[in-house]
Every structure is written in structure tokens, then in C-alpha cells.
Structure 1
Amino acid sequence: MEVARYLFARLHDLGVRSLFGTPGDYNLVALDFLEDAGLRWVGNSNELNAGYAADGYGRIKGIAALITVFGVGELSAINAIAGAYAERSPVVHIVGTPSTSFQSSGLCLHHSLGNGDFRVFANMYTQITVAHTNLSDITTVASEIDRVLKACVHESRPVYIELPTDMVSQTIPTSEAMSNGTLIQSNGTLHAHWFEDSVVDIIREKITSAQRPFIIVDGLVRAYDIEGEVNAIVRSSNIPTSTTPAGKSMISEQAPNVCRLYKGTAGDPEYSAYIKTRDLLIYFAPLWSDCNTFGFSTIHKDSTTIVFHQDAVTIRGKEFRIQVKSLLQKLLESMSDWKCQVQVSAQCLMPDVPTPDVVQGPESQEPIKQSAFWRLCSQVLTSGDVVLTECGTSSIGAYDLVLPEDVRMVTSALWLSIGFMLGAAQGSALAIRDLVDEGIGAAGRTILFTGDGSLQMSVQAISDIIRNRLDMIIIIINNDGYTIERHIHGMYAQYNDVQPWRYLEAPNFFGANLDDPTYPITLRKGTTWGDIIQAFEDPAVRSGKGLIMIEVVMAKEDAPETLKNLFK
């Protein structure tokens, strides 16, 4: 089997069905092997958006793959790969490189720095990947590919594979290829049963003896593959539970013991004070970044906490190195006969989803305001939706969304690269379609909330969406620039302005056929409550079919109250 065929077959084994990237002279021959391996070429407008899309695909599908060319291509994607590393998204970055003979000769080749150093870019990637390999030795190609792909899945982070042009079509002896089904195997450290059982006993005793326990579910639950166990513990224990911004949608917001989002002292001081009086706080998979913790105000002292990480649990400050997924399964079994009797305070419960007339009447000519817009958006969501929120006013406003059952939210709480979510939405929508094609998932809608400034950063992704005929709803908050930056500094400074665009003309510019009934284009603009309510009630919008763009005009100074309080 040829090297490229083996690599792509391995990706297919893991669930990859679409390959993101751009073509270039150092990867063209490799792309000829895609179709036979069962992979679809996506074809992105640029490498940065391809990387963003791969990140979004990986968060939904469990793994993603991206291919670029050496030097100019891989450096254009490096920001996206760094974001995937920071936020634990499994992306395989394949880089087509010059032939091994040219590299060893130190020739002055295009896309290089001209100094004969062909390791400089690979060395950069060692800082933002968990495994990397150069497929330059045919005797180790198969084992190297398997080693790196295992690391990507097990650690849910990016990996880096160099594929020299002269290695693409070289053949791997059949005996070197591992049989299907052996690629994914547990990498958890083995522990004696007595040790695991003793830790379970300690945790159970702490939980059952607590008078005021509280659970906080955070953003790395999916990356650690413990979402099922955490949801089961929340449901069966009846312990009052909240999520952080990064953890939103990790648990059902319809459960009776699930409380509103934990925004810390800055975002919700009264609710924060309530949580601080709990005698036991149980953290699942914390991401303790400044933004996710509202200035570190949701981190509590060790003496009152049990913290579950990926391969360790910390109980009141004492760390036990252990495989947490297995530990949680045993904890569930041991607590099957116990249910917390603590009643959730009414002030903590999730708010009701408003109907449109509660916010504003459908005939209202009043301007749209952030204070009510996000509550209104809650009633538009339906089970199965995937909601993506761009960093800034969109992500902070979306904290107030009340999510129906089985709605998944994709957000950024650490890397915060402006423009990321448009590309990620393309990848997410493609992952949903691939899952449906495999008969694994249902055809839910992909809904993106993004600001005008963010959209301008990565607008070419709209071309990728149209090219792949993806179903998507894009809600653009047009508030005349970088509103979140205005609230940090420079409310009326020129550097926080952006050039006004005619956003709803983008589909036409990017080549959409506006008269094609098989891929409908729906365009709406709202400057008043009446406009936006009518847009949300439009059957074409409700269906989520084709490309739907809704431009929502708001004042440049307006922002969610949480954002204002945070930056005060």
C-alpha cells in the first residue's frame, strides 16, 4: 500500500470523511489518493479558514484532518492549530514537503527561507502539537502514522505529519500495516483495583456527608471523553449543578437540578455568593482561563473542592493519579442508592424561555437591544441544533441562552482568535452532514452568532460554505465595529471601527445561485424588534436549509450587561 493511501485509510478508520486544506505543488500527488480512501476533498479558500474548519469538524466528529503545503501554507494555518491545541480539539495536520533528497542537499527551494534549513517550520509546530513525525523512512512509516494518530485521539489535541513528495507513492510492505481495529486502544495507566476502589470510597464519603454540595461542569468534559459519565452523575445525584461558559451545553439545561451559568463575582455577584457558601464544590474538567472564570472569580479554595482532571483527581488539595473515566464509572455504581436532598434555590434556576411577545411585540418599531435579544434567541433554538458563538458580544450574550435538550454549543474560552467561528461553523456543518451520511446522527441545524468585525476576519469561509452546499444560519450582529474592544478601551476610538460592508450581498459575490431551489439562499435584515421577530418566524429560517443570513443592527455602544460588568 502506498504511503498516502495508508495515511488516508487510517484517517478513515478513525471516522474522518472530509479533508480540509488547499492544494499546492508539494501535496498535489497525495490528493490523488483521497477518493479511493473514502475521503472527500473540501477545498478551502485559504489555509487559516481550513484550520478553523478542521477544528470545528474535530469538535463534532472526534477527529479532523487538514493538509497544507510546506512553509507558506502551514504558517498560514499555524494560528488555527495553536487554537486547537489550547482548546483541546483533535486535528491531524498533514504538510506536503519537498523531497527528502532536495532537503538533504540543502537546496534553495521555493516556500523555504532560502537558507537550506528545512526543519525550521516543523520545529515551530513542536510547540503546538502533542506528536509529530516526518515520513522519510519507509521502514517506519506505518508505525509512525499509527503512533501519531493515537496521540491525536488520546490527548484530543493536534498532531503534525510531514509527507515528502518522494514518499507519497512509495509502498509499505503489507506486514508493516496493523490490522483494522487495533489503532484505538486505551492509553490509561493501569492501577490496582484496590487503589481505584479506595479513591471511590473517599469521594463517596465526601459527597454524601456534605450538607450543601454543588457541581460545576467545565469545558474539557468532551475532550476527556467523560460527558456521558458526568451527565449520569448530575442526573442520578440530584446535586445542584452549573456550568461555566466553556461548559455550557455539556449537560442538559432541562434537568430540574441544573442552575444558570456560573458567571463569578463580576457577572452575577448574588449567585456567586450563594455558590461560595457551599461546603463542597465538585469540578469536572476545569478550564481555568481568565475569561472562562470571569477574572478567576469562579476558582475556589482546595479545602472545599473535588476536582476531576483527565488523569487525576484532587480531593481537598490531595492529588491521586488515576484514570478518571474508569473512576467515574465506579463512582456511579457506588452512588446508585443515594440521592442528594438539597433543594435548588429558586434564584439559581434556569430562566424560562420567553415567547416573542414577552420581549417585544412583532409589530414593534423599537431598536433591537442586547439586553433582550439573547433571551429572544432562546425560543428560536430546537433540539439537535449546533450553536456556535464568536468571541466578543456574541459569546457573552449567548451565556443567557436557555438551551433545549440535545443542543450543542461550540465556543472559545481561551484562544479567542477573532473570526474563528465562521470557519469552525463550516467544519461543524460538514461534520454533521458526514454523521448523517454514516447513519450515526440526526440532521440538526448549524447556527452561528458572529459580529461584523469578526466576520470580516474570515469572510472567505462563506465561499467554502457555498462550495460545499452546507446548511447554515449565520446571524450577524452589525454594531459598527469591535464593540467588546470599545468596552475594554476606546469607546469612540477610530481603531475600533471597521469598514461598513453590505453583508447580505456576500452570497452573490461568492458565487451562490440565488435562484437555485435545491440550495436556497435566504437573506433577512433587522433594525427593529418587529423585523427580527418576523425573520425568526420565517419558515425558511426555521427550516435551516441552505444558507440563511440574518443581519441584526444594534448600536455600537450596546453590549450585554455581563460584558459591561466584567470590564468594569
Structure 2
Amino acid sequence: MSKTVNLAHYMFTRLRQLGVRSVHGVPGDYTLRALDYLKPAGLKWIGNCNELNAGYAADGYARIKGISALFTTYGVGELSALNAVAESFAEFAPVDISLGDGSLGVYADIYMNFTVAQASLFDPSTAAEVFDEALEKCMKESRPIYVNLPSDMVGAQVLESPLGRPLEIAPPTNEAGLESIVANLVLDRVYSSKRPYILEVNELARVTGFPTFASTFGGGTVDSTLHNYHGVHGGGHGSLDFAPYTNGADLALLFRLFLSDTNTQGWSAVSERDITLAFRRKSIEFGASNVYQIHIRRFMRRLLDRLEPGRLPKQISAASTLPSVRNQAASLPPIDSSASIDQDSFYLRISSFFRPHDIIVCANGTPLVGGRDFVLPPHATLINSAIWLSVGHMFLATQGISLAQSELGTGSRTIFFEGDGSFQATAQELGTIDRYKLNAYIFIINNGGYTFERLIHGLDAEYNDVAPWRYLKAPEMMGARNDGSYDFETHDVGTWGELQSALGNESFQSGKGLKLVNVRMGRDDLTSNFKPALKLAGKQLMAETS
């Protein structure tokens, strides 16, 4: 007789096989029995303060582990998490949302718009197969799926034998003839170019030597040590101006670029369509007319194998005058220890604190823009958001990232930068970081409110203020204790000398425990070249509403 297991055990075992070790969520009446099967399957429960925060944390966890799991109860729980799941969908984070459902199908219909598969496990004879198919879609598409686990199906018996077969999660293959044709078309454009550039890809940049840039969202996708990497292309609002070169280019190779106003700095960093080869996840666009449906991951391997370096443009003279973020950092004047910390140089200077393999996270707002100036060491990763821009998201993503880091045992540090307004949105999860003894740096950019909004509209308006929290008291209020059970330290800095003192401390550099730094800056201070973009947005807003 074939051996069977409970459906909940089957599901959690499958997740563990894919690398999940922790499940985020909030318990509810309809999920309690299912949660009893987490520990026997080798998984750990991470209880967040609410479902939205749990969804944000699962998003961060998935960006490191390749998949995560979010468990909520039906109705109020899943609707609370919806904004986080939508963000994961928009930014390609593979999250498995499992619901203990009381049979109200309307919620599955709602989630259909934000997930690539919806699995309702009503029938024990098909439940395992349906769940596996959804997981495969989650991994292949790198997007969330919705799984409806009715409370009366938790203990349903399903065959155990499928667990002995690995899921099919390899990237899809391309039709060989089409792949060859498209490779030839791409290489012809590359070989004939005189003034090309690359936006966001690594190995091709190294092999070709073409001038290479990143977008705001993709600041960590290119090896900053490459001699031909120049920095984040911010169009007319970047810290460095690459327009004299890019405006005269005859070939722009764009890789998985998210075309949003924030990621392209008000569309000012978008290349002309007729010179653009846009490599999407499942297609390549040649200008505005020809689109080839092809999976990029496998295609790029073929393209690189066939590329002949001897046929590349021999010399791109115009590139010799391009500025670089490395030179920008190197040309900073010596630090005046008594001077106030400013946005223009903070992100350049603090780059010297980063180490190889660090994961650096930037929240929405001033850190998102300031992070364009980071000079990253080899193998460091930069994670931010440039599409959904949900306030408070990236703090919880940091919690998920730190958790994933600890499970992988890499020893790498997680370093997070967030404005004071964003921090106040989800600050209660400092208690979760303490509860599970996670390691994280948190730099609060404290400028007394929503600086982005002030510069768009309402410079002195009360609605752009936030409460003046005593941030350094937050860890203790959330549960951190000075009894040796958990390392945490806090620092209040407003001058370069105070910041240097904190960064130079050996215990601070270790990355163990929580390091919370309140970085006081001017209320209206912002990276200089980005201020005109916000003022322009304000003028457009006034024109639209007048």
C-alpha cells in the first residue's frame, strides 16, 4: 500500500526542498492546525506584527533565497498582505502565499491579478499535483503564487511518493533555430556599432569593454570595479552627467530595465528606440518594430559563447571623457570632523565602510536616490525598489534578507538605509529583529519628515512633518536587553567626526546584532542634482490640478 502524509506536511516539505527554512506570517483561526506541521517539516515560524509586514519580509527573503513563504488566514489576513504581494509581483520576487481559507473564493479572484498561479487544494487526490505545478510556476516566473489551503484539508492524506521527485524549475529552453537567428542579429548590431553602451548587465560588460551604466533600481547589478563601469545613469538628474555620450550613441543595450519614471529619473535616461536593443525576461526588442519571444537567461549564454572579441569596435574615443563614480568618490575633499553631514557626500563617503559580499538595502525616498552614488566592493549586492515604492517596505525586506543571510551562513553583513518617515511606518518590527536575534545595520536618515514631498509641494506644510521620535530608545522599547543575550548598540550622529567615530568602532564593524544609527541631516537637504527633478514634478502637479 502506498504511503501517505498529511497535505500540510507535504506542502512544507516541498518548500524546504526548494530552500525555504522559515515561513513568515501571522497566525489566525483557520491556520493554527496547519502551523503545527511546520517544525516537523524542518521549517521555522517567523511571526510578524501584521500580515502586511510579513509580506514585505517574505519579499526580502525571496530576493536572497530565490523563494519564500507567506502564511496568513483568509479574508482580513490575505487582504492585509495584498500590497506586499503586489510589490513582489511587480518586482519579480517569488513568494508562495498560502492561505488557511474558509472557502470564500472571492479572495483567490482578487489575487489572480498579482500572482502567476492560483492553487485551490480542495481535492486530496489532486492537491499535491496542483501544489507542485504552482510551485514550478513560481520558480520559473520568479513571481508570487496563491495557494488556498482549506482548514479541513490540512490533515488530508496525499501520496508521499511525489516528494521523491524534484520539481522542474530549470529555465525554459529556446527553439535552437530562433535562438541562433536572434544571436546573429544582436551580434551584427554590436560589431557594427561605433558608440555603444550597456545598461545593466555584467559579463557582457566585462567581455566587450563597452561603457556601462546602471539604473537606480539596478545599481548593484554591475561590478563596480570594472574599468568601464561609470555609475548610475540618471539622465538629466543624475549625480554624474553621461548625456554627452549617451545622447550621441548608436547602440544602447538595455538589460531587464524597469521602465518607470523613478527608475529612469523622469524618463530622462531612456534611449531612443531606433538605437535600442531591449533584453526583457522573455523577449528581445529591436527598436520599436521587431520583437522576438525568447528566454533571456539561456540566450545570453549562447550569445556570449558566439561573441568574437576581435570584431568589436577597436576604440571608442568619446568614452574617454566619461566621468565615473569611483573618480567622484576619490576627488572628495578631506573630511571636516566638525561639519554637518550632508546628502551630497554621505553616500559616497560611507561606501568605504562596505565590504565584499555585503548586502546593502536602500529604502524609498532620499536613500533610494542617494544610493546611486555608492561605490560597491566586489560581490556586494544593492537591493532597492524603483517601481512600487511602498513606504516601510524595505525595512521589513531587510528583516527577511538578514534572516536569509543567517540561514545561508555566509557571514555577510546586511546594511540598511531608511528615511525617518519610512521608518515610522513599520518600526514595530524592530521587535522581530530582536526576537529572532538577527544581524542588521540600520541607518536612519533623519531630516524631520518627508523631504521628497516637501520639495514637490508643501515645503513648510505640516502634513510633510513626522513625529520627532527618540529613535535610539526604540530597540529597548521593542524588547532588546543589555543582558548579553543580544548585541545591540545605538549611535546619534550629526557631524562627520561623530559618524567616523561610530564607523571606526571594532564592535560596530563586526556586523553582529543590531546597529542603529540616527543620522541627523538638514530638513530640506537632498542630493543636489535630484532637487530639480522634484521641483519639476511639483510644477507638473500644479499644472494638472489648476
Which secondary structure does the structure 2 equivalent of 1:399 belong to? helix
Deviation per CA, 1:533-563, whole angstroms, max 9, x where unpaired?
1111111221111100010111111111133
Moved more, 351-360 or 553-562: 351-360
Aligned equivalents of 2:134, 2:172: Cα separation in 1: 13
Instruction: Quote the residue 1:256 is aligned against.
Output: 227
Distance 1:564 1:186, change over 3 A: closer
Matches within 5 A, 1:47-446: 47-98=51-102, 103=103, 118-174=104-160, 177=162, 179-188=164-173, 190-191=174-175, 193-217=176-200, 230-267=201-238, 270-317=241-288, 318-338=290-310, 339-343=312-316, 344-352=319-327, 354=329, 358-361=333-336, 364-436=337-409, 442-446=410-414
Report the TM-score, using the length of structure 2 for normalisation: 0.93
SS at match of 2:427: coil
Q: Which residue of structure 1 lines up, in the alignment, with residue 428 of structure 2?
A: 460
Identity %: 38
Aligned-residue offset at 1:269: 8.0
**Secondary structure in 2 aligned to 1:162?**
strand
**AA aligned opposite 1:428:** I
Contact 1:45–1:461 (8 Å) recurs in 2: yes
The superposition leaves residues 366-414 of structure 1 with CA deviations (integer Å, 9 ceiling, x where unpaired) of 2221122111111111111101111001111111111111110110000
Deviations, residues 458-505 of structure 1 (Å, cap 9, x unaligned):
011111111110111000111111111111110110000111111111
User: Does the 8 Å contact 1:353/1:378 carry over to 2?
Assistant: no
Taking the aligned partners of 1:473 and 1:292, their CA distance within structure 2 comes to 25
Residue of structure 2 equivalent to 1:515: 483
Question: Quick check: 409-418 or 135-144, which moved more?
Answer: 135-144
Identify which range, 402-411 or 328-337, moves more after superposition: 328-337
Distance 1:347 1:259 in 2: 7
Three-state SS of the structure 2 residue aligned to 1:295 is coil
Asked if structure 2 preserves the Cα contact closer than 8 Å seen for 1:16 and 1:63, the reply is yes
Opposite residue 292 of structure 2, the aligned amino acid is F
Aligned to 2:542: none
Deviation at 1:359, TM superposition (A): 4.6
Matched, 1:448 2:423: no
**Cα-to-partner distance string for 1:95-129 (whole Å, 9 max, x where unaligned):** 1112xxxx4xxxxxxxxxxxxxx222222111111
For structure 1, the residue ranges without an aligned partner over 5 or more in a row are 104-117, 218-229, 437-441
Q: Which amino acid aligns with 1:332?
A: L
Shift of 1:174: 3.8
**Secondary structure of residue in 2 paired with 1:67:** strand
**Cα deviations by residue, 1:422-479 (Å, 9 ceiling, x for unpaired):** 100000001111112xxxxx21100010011101000111111111101110001111
Q: 1:137, CA displacement in angstroms?
A: 1.1
The alignment partner of 1:195 has SS state of helix
Asked if the contact 2:132–2:167 (Cα under 8 Å) also holds between the matched residues in 1, the reply is: no
Please tell me the residue identity of whatever aligns with 1:147.
Answer: E
Q: Is the contact made by 2:491 and 2:502 (CA closer than 8 Å) also made in structure 1?
A: yes
Cα distance between partner residues in 2 of 1:36 and 1:486:
52
| Unaligned segments of structure 2, at least 5 residues | 536-546
How far apart, in 1, do the equivalents of 2:351 and 2:195 lie?
Answer: 30
Match of 2:32 in 1: 28
Distance 1:186 1:328, change over 3 A: closer
Structure-2 change in CA distance of 1:359 and 1:151 (3 Å): farther
CA distance in 2, matches of 1:421, 1:321: 33
Tell whether the 8 Å contact from 1:486 to 1:496 is kept in structure 2 after alignment.
yes
Tell me the residue number matched to 2:541.
Answer: none
Question: 2:16: which partner in 1?
Answer: 12
1:472 aligned partner, one-letter code: A
User: Which TM-score applies when normalising by structure 1?
Assistant: 0.90
- Residue in 2 aligned with 1:545? 512
Structure 1 residue 349 displacement after superposition: 2.3
Aligned residues of 2:231 and 2:372 also touching (Cα < 8 A): no
Flag as ranges the 4+ runs of structure 1 deviating above 4 A. 353-357
Residues 354 and 379 in structure 1, CA contact (< 8 A), matched pair in contact too: no
- How far apart are residue 186 of structure 1 and its match? 3.9
SS in 2 for 1:348: coil
Cα drift, residue 195 of structure 1? 2.5
* Counterpart residue type for residue 315 of structure 1: F
Check conservation: 2:237, 2:530, Cα contact below 8 A.
no
* Per-residue deviation, residues 207-241 of structure 1 (Å, max 9, x unmatched): 01111111011xxxxxxxxxxxx422111111111
**Distance across 1 between alignment mates of 2:155 and 2:494:** 57
Query: Is the alpha carbon distance of 1:178 and 1:519 closer, same or farther for their aligned partners in structure 2, counting shifts above 3 Å?
Result: closer
| Between 250-259 and 296-305, the greater mean CA deviation after superposition | 296-305
> Is residue 214–residue 239 contact of structure 1 (8 Å, CA) maintained in 2?
yes
How far residue 48 of structure 1 moved from its aligned partner, in angstroms, is: 1.2
Distance 1:68 1:356 in 2: 51
For 1:461-480, what aligned pairs fall within 5 Å after superposition? 461-480=429-448
Query: For 1:460, what is the secondary structure of its paired residue?
Result: helix
